[in-house]
Structure 1
Amino acid sequence: MLKVDNKQKQSEKFVIKGNKKLFGEVQLSGAKNAALPMIVAACLGNEFTTLKNVPTSLRDVNILIEILSDLGAVVTVEGTKISCKRGDFPNKKVAPQRASEIRYSLLLLGLTASFSEEIELPLPGGCKIGDRKYDLHILGMEKLGAKIEENERGLFLSSQGLIGNDIEFYLPTTSGTENVMIAAAISKGKTTLLNANTRPEVIQLADLLNEMGVKVTCNNRVVTVEGQDTIPGGVEVSVMPGWDEAVTYAVAAGVTGGEICIPNFNTSFIKEDVRYLNLAGVQVFEWGTSLYVSGKGEKKTFDLFTAPYPGINSDMQPLFATLALAAKGTSTIADLRFTDRFQYVEELKKFNADINSFGNTAIINGGKALKGAEVRATDLRGGAACVLAGLVAEGETLVSNISQINRGYENIDLKLNLLGADITLQG
């Protein structure tokens, strides 16, 4: 397992020498967006719950562990294995200010509410990709009986015990769904959550809660939780491999005209992504327990709309935009969730790319040769898109603000280098 120092210097940049095809095998890390809610949920238990295959070098994972530990939870880390239990969480009424740095700190609301406690939480951070509301988190907590007040310092939650309820979201939020699941785990009665997001990470959270002693069902945008008086924990679960990482490396093979193998992974969670990859001329198929990707064929244009799972996640559209640059002709990408995720478009233009965005749509006229450029990672996936463009651009590319990229990818530079890329760390 590759390891790097988690302390990312703000001045560090990726230096990429492009025009290299990628070939070989790449190992996936555990999925960050599955691991983060699982770590919080593991703290519901009275006994240690152990999570394996956790991407422990990621900044967001480490910040969450620090916050939980500071608030009294017991968390131990050994390589890619984490063991968690409640301990005396919450041992204070104010969460550390560092909780503002990650969006998943919102799940502390559900954890605190389940224990009939109170906490003041600074407003959460994460990628700056437009209007990322937390009103559905508040709705969910209040429907279960908790009280939440918002002030200039953040959110103050108090709970005197939760009672199950029927809750309907006006849109299927991922972390909002997870927050309700965690809160309802220790409650009286049954909670039914309608128009929930039942994407793979949420399904795995449900599986973990069931293993820990909660009764949860999760499918077709409906989640039910039968609350318990207490949760024993004491189980061991492995975090799913990063499907988003798999799509990233598949696109990398596509744009460079290379061929890669992803062992111990299949298409079950990325069927719609695979459909679009195939439409774009990238062959993706399973063989045994591995996934194979060939980007040797001619790239084709496509029209993509993001949608809640099982559709294309909004996270992935910057990557597909880079793939569209390799296809001669016009492709379109419409993001129906986060219109401000198109901040990366201005960065891709610096590569001599013919790409423009307006409203919730990007128009890509592909087939032009890309040239190396100095660009900035605007957010996690926008930064990954810049790395992918740098892989095929003529000359040298410098990508700054790479702490954004390293929030969600473990050792992306080292993994790509093992496939034949030429990426060095500067600064």
Structure 2
Amino acid sequence: MEKFVISGGLNLSGKIRIKGAKNSILPILAGSLLTSERVEIKDVPDISDVKVMLKILECLGVRISWKEDLLILEPGSLYTSEIPETLMCEMRSSIFLMGPLLGRLGKVKVSYPGGCDIGPRPIDLHLKGLASMGVKILEENGCVQAEAKTLRGSDIHLDFPSVGATENIMMAAIYAEGSTLIHNAAKEPEIIDLQNFLNKMGAKIKGAGTDTIKIEGVKSLNDVNYTLIPDRIVAGTLVIAAAITRGELILENVIPEHLEAVTAKLQEAGVEIWEEQDTLHVRGGNIKAIQSVRTLPYPGFPTDMQAQTMSLLTLAKGNSTIIENVFDGRFSQVGELKKMGARISVQGRSAIIQGVDQLKGAVVNAPDLRAGAALVLAGLSAQGQTIIKEIHHIDRGYEKFEEILQQLGANIKRVGAQDENF
């Protein structure tokens, strides 16, 4: 397994452009199955989750090619509705394929999805919504088989504003008879991105970004050329990279309003942040404690930025509290940060961070995607050398992370398992 080796203590500086959003491209790739026409998507991030999703699409019969930063999909005539279990187990987002395959082929067979271990993330909201549209669902032997001769529009109320369930139901409803209403829908920017992508193909969806989304069924979708929104989580991670190293960065191709919950808290911690159209300027300095950071569905503070923020607050003057309201088991970075000298105690959904003057390099494991990114940030500021193992988790959501950080002045390198020195 590959590792990151970091020599910390350097101030990051420079300019970087943010690429397309991981949490947009995965459902959009699934949504491409709803047409038989050519689909072109620009600014696609080169991350392992995208590669897994593309393998799945190829297994279903989609022809795929790249031209620099342009991804070209030719769905044509799909020749199966069954997704290989080996690929489903690699990535939770593969569950998005249920809605499009039901809409296009009227049936689908999947195994339960994998992904990061950040606590229970049941798919019952997906299945409940699809069942209300006339889908017959059979669960047995770790697989879900779903079939519908005709999808019917329905009034669906989500018990929780689940991003995945909202997007899956949206895509299933494209070819349903009549109209579908999703109440208590998730409001994330990536859902708006999916709506815009589908509407550009000829879908009739409105309301994304609000708690009620309406989909009018259509008979077919056409070809499309589409550019993804920038990744707000990658941008937020780099904002903290500047702050934790007392550096100064310029982030281009950013939608500042998507980051307002994050930048407001970081400014509260003493980080200088100012915006200029689609650019963020960030300057780090002395970090102040934050009384309370609470993760919530959008537009609240994103759970995907909780771990990175914790790394920053380990160096704050005073005590800070983070409350994780979205996922159980999402404090997996705590034990690893303690190896680096952090003072953190966890009580249920709350983590209390007592700031220290300096983190120290250590050998740590990346337990999941965002926790792994948090450990990289900690390593950038730590005294001495930090070795991070299990970095395949980080590769799921950050394109060539070490190369980006190298461009900004970090001393970080990727080494293979065969390198006995590490």
TM range (shorter): over 0.9
- Take 2:72 and 2:133, find their aligned partners in 1: how far apart are those partners? 28
Query: Could you tell me how far apart the structure 2 residues matched to 1:152 and 1:170 are?
Result: 26
Would you say the 8 A contact 2:343–2:355 is kept in 1?
A: yes
Partner of 1:49: 39
Contact 2:40 2:71 in 1 (8 A): yes
- Mapped contact 2:81–2:109 kept (Cα < 8 A): no
**Given residue 145 of structure 1, which amino acid in structure 2 is its aligned partner?**
G
Deviation at 1:191, TM superposition (A): 0.5
**Secondary structure of the corresponding residue to residue 17 of structure 2:** coil
Shift of 1:149: 1.2
Instruction: State the AA in 1 paired with 2:194.
Output: L
Tell me, yes or no, if the aligned pair for 2:191 and 2:209 is still in contact at 8 Å.
Answer: no
1:261 is matched with 250
User: In the alignment, does 2:359 pair up with 1:385?
Assistant: no
* Partner SS for 2:233: helix
Tell me, yes or no, if structure 1 residue 193 matches structure 2 residue 192. no
Within-5 A mapping of 1:231-270: 231-232=221-222, 234-270=223-259
Q: 2:336 aligns with which of 344, 347, 354?
A: 347
Query: What SS does the aligned partner of 1:101 have?
Result: coil
Give the Cα–Cα distance (whole angstroms) in 2 for the partners of residues 270 and 90 of structure 1.
41
Alignment map for 1:394-405 (pairs within 5 Å): 394-405=383-394
Q: How do 1:23-62 residues align onto structure 2 when only pairs under 5 Å count?
A: 23-55=13-45, 57-62=46-51
Gap runs ≥5 in structure 1? 1-10
User: Is 1:222–2:216 an aligned residue pair?
Assistant: no
Q: Which amino acid aligns with 1:18?
A: G
Bigger mean CA deviation after superposition, 280-289 or 184-193: 280-289
The 8 Å contact of residues 193 and 223 in structure 1, kept in 2 or not, is answered as: yes
CA distance in 1, matches of 2:16, 2:344: 30
Q: Give the SS at the match of 2:258.
A: coil
**Change in 2 beyond 3 A, CA 1:42/1:94:** closer
- Going from structure 1 to structure 2, the CA distance change for 1:182 and 1:92 (only over 3 Å counts) comes to closer
Q: Is 1:123 aligned to residue 109 of structure 2? A: no
Residues 84-95 of structure 1: matches in 2 within 5 Å?
84-93=73-82, 95=84
Matched, 1:292 2:278: no
TM-score by length of 1: 0.94
Counterpart position of 2:170: 181
User: Under a length normalisation based on structure 2, what TM-score does the superposition of the two structures give?
Assistant: 0.95
Q: Structure 2 vs 1, CA of residues 316 and 188 (structure 1 numbering), >3 Å: closer, same or farther?
A: same
Q: Provide the rounded CA distance (Å) in 2 between the counterparts of 1:212 and 1:383.
A: 37
Counterparts of 2:134 and 2:183 in 1: how far apart (Å)? 18
The unaligned stretches of length 5 or more in structure 2 are 417-422
Q: Deviations over 1:56-96 (max 9, x none)?
A: x2111011111111112333333322222432224254545
Q: What do residues 325-358 of structure 1 show as CA deviations (whole Å, max 9, x unaligned)?
A: 1211110000111120111100100001001212
The residue matched to 1:220 in structure 2 has which SS?
A: coil
In the alignment, is residue 83 of structure 1 matched against residue 69 of structure 2?
no
Distance of 1:261 and 1:272 partners within structure 2: 19
Distance 2:253 2:230 in 1: 9
Superposition pairs of residues 133-212 of structure 1, within 5 angstroms: 133-212=122-201
* Distance (whole Å) between structure 2 residues aligned to residue 78 and residue 128 of structure 1: 34
What CA distance in whole angstroms lies between the structure 1 residues aligned with 2:411 and 2:330? 28
Count of aligned pairs: 415
Does the CA-based 8 Å contact 1:302-1:324 persist in structure 2?
Answer: no
After alignment, is 150-159 or 400-409 more displaced? 150-159
Alignment partner for residue 353 of structure 2, among 344, 347, 364? 364
Alignment partner, residue 13 of structure 1:
3
Does the 8 Å CA contact 2:232/2:255 hold for their aligned counterparts?
A: no
Distance 1:164 1:74 in 2: 31
Residue 214 of structure 2 aligns with an amino acid whose one-letter code is T
Aligned residues of 1:43 and 1:85 also touching (Cα < 8 A): no
Aligned to 1:7: none
Map of 1:337 onto structure 2: 326
SS, match of residue 309 in structure 1: coil
For residues 273-311 of structure 1, the C-alpha deviation after alignment (integer angstroms, 9 at most, x for no partner) is 110010011111112542100112443433100111000
- Contact 1:383-1:405 within 8 A present in 2 as well: yes
8 Å CA contact retained: 1:334, 1:360: yes
Larger mean Cα displacement after TM superposition, 297-306 or 240-249: 297-306
- Aligned pair partner of 2:86 in 72, 79, 97: 97
CA contact (8 A) 1:95 1:119 kept: no
**Which amino acid is the alignment partner of residue 250 of structure 1?**
V
